[in-house]
Copies of this chain bind each other. A is one copy, B any other.
Amino acid sequence: MLLVERGVDPYRGARALPGGFLNHAGEDILDAAHRELREEADLDVARLHLEQLGTYGAPGRDPRGRVISVAYLAIAPELPDPVAGTDAADAGWESAADVLSGRTKLAFDHLRIVTDGIDRARGKLEHSALATAFCRETFTIADLQQVYEAVWGVQLDPRNFYRKVQKVPGFIEPTGQERRATKGRPARLFQAGPTTVLHPPLVRPESTDSEGAR
């Protein structure tokens, strides 16, 4: 995930989600999310999936006073490795595992927001074609499987995955081309199809730890 290092108090030096305030009264909040992503992280990629995650407005979440944050979940493939040195103070990539485990400390209630975002992504992978937003324009089925395995944190059977993914109508479409790696049989390349809602869904294996309350 993309985090910036705070240069001012409060939480100076801690990592935080990129964000900021609305510019003027006429700015749409989605536009503002795009702008902040560009300004704070120099990120202006194509194929950017951006969806509203939720709004966080607990009274004490910002010591400076009342701040209500509308969080957006952004997903994009082929991200520039170290975010290019710009005025964007210190933006950089952090492993989600490091953040979730608490090894990387986040400012404000941003850990909560991050947790919600990951939950959202995990769930949406089942019922929507969101996984293709993690991939490039064309991809192999093994690529897609890696997305599911990484986000869900599980291992999947390649043969069954292959079968199920292709059964969902309109999810992925073959391009007719192939990609050959250094080893092994060349893999057929696919691209995202028109479907956004998966029928049937790709259900993730039931984790043994009981999910309990929400």
Complex copy number for this chain: 2
A55, A197, A211, most chain B CB atoms within 10 A: A55
Q: Tell whether, in the assembled complex, residue A70 and residue B58 are in contact, meaning their CB atoms are under 8 Å apart.
A: no
Q: Tell whether, in the assembled complex, residue B59 and residue A26 are in contact, meaning their CB atoms are under 8 Å apart.
A: yes
Report the Cα distance A28→B60, complex, angstroms: 9
Report the Cα distance A201→B194, complex, angstroms: 25
Q: Tell whether, in the assembled complex, residue A206 and residue B199 are in contact, meaning their CB atoms are under 8 Å apart.
A: yes
Is the contact region of chain A dominated by helix, strand, or loop, or is it mixed?
Answer: loop
The proximity string for A residues 148-181 relative to B, scoring 1 for CB distances below 8 Å and 0 otherwise, is 0000000000000000000000000000000000
Given contacts A196-B214, A197-B214, A214-B196, contact A70 B52 (CB under 8 A): no
Taking A28-B59, A194-B213 as known contacts, 13 extra A-B pairs with beta carbons closer than 8 A to each other, sorted by chain A number, are A25-B66, A26-B66, A28-B57, A29-B55, A52-B54, A54-B54, A54-B55, A194-B212, A196-B212, A196-B213, A196-B214, A200-B203, A201-B203
By a beta-carbon cutoff of 8 Å, the part of chain A in contact with chain B is 25-29, 52, 54-55, 57-59, 65-66, 68, 70, 128, 194, 196-197, 199-201, 203, 206, 211-214
